[in-house]
Amino acid sequence: MFLGSVISQIKKLAKEYSQWDDAHLSGLALDLGFESRQSDDITPLIPRGFALVQVAASRQLGMQHYDCQLQGGYAMCRGNVAEMRTGEGKTLTATLPMFVHALAGRGALLATSNDYLAERDAEEMAPLYKSLGLTIGVVTQSMSREQRRAAYKCHITYGTMSEFGFDFLRDHSKQREQQQRELWYGGASGGVAESADNKPVHREPHFLLLDEADSILIDDARTPLIISAPNDSDAQQQQMALYQWTAKHTDSYAEDEHYWYDREKRSVDLTPEGTAMVRAIRKPAELAGVGLLEMYDFVERAIKVARDFKIDRDYVIRDGEIVIVDESTGRIAEGRRWSRGIHQAIEAKEKVEITLDTTTSAKITVQSFVSRFPYIAGMTGTAHTARKEFKKIYHTGVQVIPTNKPPQRIDHPIKFFHTEAEKFQQVVDDVAEIHDTGRPILIGTRSIAKSEQLSILLRDAGIEHEVLNAREVEREAQIVESAGEFARVTVATNMAGRGTDIKINAHVRELGGMHVIGTEMHESSRIDQQLFGRCGRQGDPGTVQLYTSAEDKLLESAFGKQTAERYRRTLKTRIASYWISLFHKAQRKLENQHYRSRRILMHSEKQLSKAQREMGLDPILDNFE
């Protein structure tokens, strides 16, 4: 059916339904639920379902779905990722596919960025769903299993991908424990009553809608969800000594002399000279029984950690613990740990207490978890550039949804500088000039350290401002919501690129709207666009300015330190446009590398799972490296 005719039909039905009372609307929703249970094809239900949601939104929320939101909802009902610009109302749009898929009573999950957004969106949309006879639940980190089970029993459940995934792993682990007890004691129940705590909290997977789909399906795809179990205590003590010893001597190893570094795989391999150095360095008595191969492995891991994992970029130290900072969102990744000894190596590097090493008792990647749902869809402000990956890996298309009002954002040409110091000084000078006009300014940085470095420069220039990074996670919504106010200056990591809308008033609109500054290009152009999308919402005016310098880390990440230095030595003979072209080339190279690594991960995981099944093992519980 042609989309234009579908939207016309929805509007016509909504006009008819608006004459009915709430009880009549709820009765129609019940009828649609009966229809949905008779067939897996939800297409015939879309016009009537969307019309019901439109009327309920108007009555219960005082909100009206725009045509672009109906288009986005239709795209998601058809199993696509809808690309909708910031401020186009994705939260309201999500009610359309969620309602239609929830009608069958099999459960519809909506995964969002964090607990705050899950609770906020569920609370705001609850009156709409309830008026149509549907129940709604929320899963958050602090909930008990019984509370989670009740939330999953609802027609619609909001939560985060990590909570959904960890609940699945816990269910799977408890199911295995129950099966083992039954085998041990014999009989269907084995004479052992199954406790309420052992009952699964999840239902059979049905429909999963992903808010910020590119962040979940692409940026987080390489990080598995892991449940760990303690290891042998003697082995743990020996490993602790190994981590401490290798971290102490990391600076002794030089690239290309003692080790080779593969930038595409981000792996470290010792050279013959490097292995000789490992043998030569004096070792404590605790390592007397450690084999050389294991020692080489620990040294390579320590070198990789020293090179690739930076404090206030990849992680922070909170209450004496190493806590991961999500690269794409800038937020704390609660409950996550790096596997294969990386987390312990970082603890040794930062001289904090090394957590007892563990073995993986259950593990699943985002890719595998999502693949268990027969119906998935997503929405985000940045998906079109990754459309090939969505198609090849997840078999879902990307539909770019037009904005409700014509965009008025102006993107200024990129500014290039020789050094980072020159770049930051120009940022401060430009902020001071624009700040005098009263326009709000949002400044994006790539790391916590850079946000705090820029904050010092702004403070020295006498410019009042707020800083938003993983250290200020409790105040995230408050800072973002006020970022569009008159004369407000906000310095932020990627946290400001997701979630809460930044709204401006009429006075700010007259001044030209918000000005957004990017202080460095990211390894993915999507993350840059997420930041720029914070201004110019719903046809508002706004401007964007990106700054780069020859000292930016993007070049080293893409080409290596030596090649980057060679480029910098030719600095005076090259014009700015050459450098800007080089940055785009570096960004594309890194995007392709990350894409290949995700494809390799998916392929190797499929091969491993196949081998485990052929051996009679569980791919989730029987993990082996």
pLDDT, tens digit, 9 for 90 and up, residues 423-445: 999 999 999 999 999 999 999 99
Candidates 464, 435, 468; CA nearest to 451 is 468
Q: What is the mean pLDDT of the chain?
A: 87
Task: Please tell me whether residues 219 and 236 are part of one structural domain.
Answer: no
Task: Please tell me whether residues 414 and 517 are part of one structural domain.
Answer: yes
Are 460 and 440 spatial neighbours (Cβ–Cβ below 8 Å)? Answer: no
3-class SS of residue 590: helix
Q: Is residue 163 a part of any domain in this protein?
A: yes
pLDDT digits (tens, 9 = 90+) for 378-415: 999 888 888 988 998 888 999 999 999 898 999 999 99
Are 265 and 604 spatial neighbours (Cβ–Cβ below 8 Å)? Answer: no
Q: Which of 196-200, 298-302, 466-470, 506-510 has the lowest mean pLDDT?
A: 196-200
Phi, psi dihedrals of residue 545, rounded to the nearest 5°: -140, 125
DSSP 524: S
Task: Please tell me whether residues 128 and 270 are part of one structural domain.
Answer: no
Provide the residue range defining the domain that includes 486. 408-549
pLDDT digits (tens, 9 = 90+) for 77-118: 999 999 998 888 999 999 999 999 999 999 999 999 888 889
Residue burial 419-428, b: 16+ Cβ < 10 Å; e: rest: ebeebbeebb
Phi, psi dihedrals of residue 69, rounded to the nearest 5°: -70, -35
- Please give the residue that has the higher pLDDT: either 515 or 357: 515
Q: H or E segment at 359?
A: strand 358-364
3-class SS of residue 549: strand
Q: Is residue 396 a part of any domain in this protein?
A: yes
The pLDDT assigned to 557 comes to 87
Q: Is residue 282 a part of any domain in this protein?
A: yes
Candidates 461, 545, 526, 623; CA nearest to 81 is 526
Q: At 185, which amino acid appears?
A: Y
CA 523 to chain centre: 15
Residue 342, token pair as written in the block? 């990386």
- Please give the residue that has the higher pLDDT: either 194 or 47: 47
Q: Is residue 569 a part of any domain in this protein?
A: no
Q: Is residue 62 a part of any domain in this protein?
A: yes
Residue 295: give its domain's CATH number.
Answer: 3.90.1440.10
Which burial class, exposed, middle or buried, applies to 498 when counting CB atoms under 10 A from its CB (0-12, 13-18, 19+)?
Answer: buried
Q: Which residues contact 140 (CB under 8 A, 6 or more apart)?
A: 115, 118, 119, 159, 163
Candidates 427, 539, 540; CA nearest to 489 is 427
Percent of the chain at pLDDT > 90 equals: 51
Could you tell me whether strands 156-160 and 136-138 are parallel, antiparallel, or unpaired per DSSP bridges?
parallel
Are 223 and 162 spatial neighbours (Cβ–Cβ below 8 Å)? Answer: no
Are 584 and 613 spatial neighbours (Cβ–Cβ below 8 Å)? Answer: no
Task: Please tell me whether residues 35 and 169 are part of one structural domain.
Answer: yes
Residue 415, token pair as written in the block? 């500014």
CA distance 143 to 33: 30
Global pTM reads: 0.80
The pLDDT assigned to 498 comes to 60
pLDDT at 182 over 70: no
Residue 131, token pair as written in the block? 């008026």
The mean per-residue pLDDT over the stretch 336-345 comes to: 84
Counted residue by residue, the chain has a size of: 625
Task: Please tell me whether residues 499 and 421 are part of one structural domain.
Answer: yes
pLDDT at 207 over 60: yes
The pLDDT assigned to 263 comes to 76
Task: Please tell me whether residues 205 and 236 are part of one structural domain.
Answer: no
Domain count, the chain: 3
Task: Please tell me whether residues 439 and 498 are part of one structural domain.
Answer: yes
3-class SS of residue 361: strand
Q: For 138-187, what is the HEC assignment?
A: ECCCCCCHHHHHHHHHCCEEEEEHHHHHHHHHHHHHHHHHHHHHHHHHCC
CA distance 310 to 329: 16
CA distance 484 to 501: 9
Would you place residue 318 in the very low, low, confident or very high pLDDT band (cuts 50, 70, 90)?
Answer: confident
Residue 441: give its domain's CATH number.
Answer: 3.40.50.300
CA 122 to chain centre: 19
Angstrom CA distances, 329 to 12, 186, 447, 496, 522, stand at: 41, 49, 11, 8, 12
CA distance 489 to 464: 7
Which of 526, 549, 572 terminates a domain? The answer is 549
Are 136 and 125 spatial neighbours (Cβ–Cβ below 8 Å)? Answer: yes
CA distance 89 to 566: 47
Q: Is residue 560 a part of any domain in this protein?
A: no
Task: Please tell me whether residues 153 and 249 are part of one structural domain.
Answer: no
Task: Please tell me whether residues 385 and 416 are part of one structural domain.
Answer: no
Q: Is residue 204 a part of any domain in this protein?
A: yes
Angstrom CA distances, 211 to 84, 117, 373, 391, stand at: 11, 10, 16, 18
Angstrom CA distances, 192 to 145, 178, 405, stand at: 20, 9, 63
Task: Please tell me whether residues 159 and 272 are part of one structural domain.
Answer: no
Within 533-575, residue ranges assigned H as helices are: 553-559, 561-569
Other C-beta atoms lying within 10 Å of the C-beta of residue 359 = 11
Q: Is residue 607 a part of any domain in this protein?
A: no
Task: Please tell me whether residues 431 and 525 are part of one structural domain.
Answer: yes
CA distance 518 to 533: 11
Residue 242, token pair as written in the block? 């190994």
Task: Please tell me whether residues 205 and 341 are part of one structural domain.
Answer: no
Candidates 614, 351, 611, 616; CA nearest to 625 is 611
The pLDDT assigned to 368 comes to 85
The pLDDT assigned to 418 comes to 87
Tokens 């990590």: give the residue.
162
- Please give the residue that has the higher pLDDT: either 339 or 483: 483
pLDDT digits (tens, 9 = 90+) for 557-596: 898 888 888 888 876 667 788 888 999 999 999 988 888 8
pLDDT at 473 over 80: no
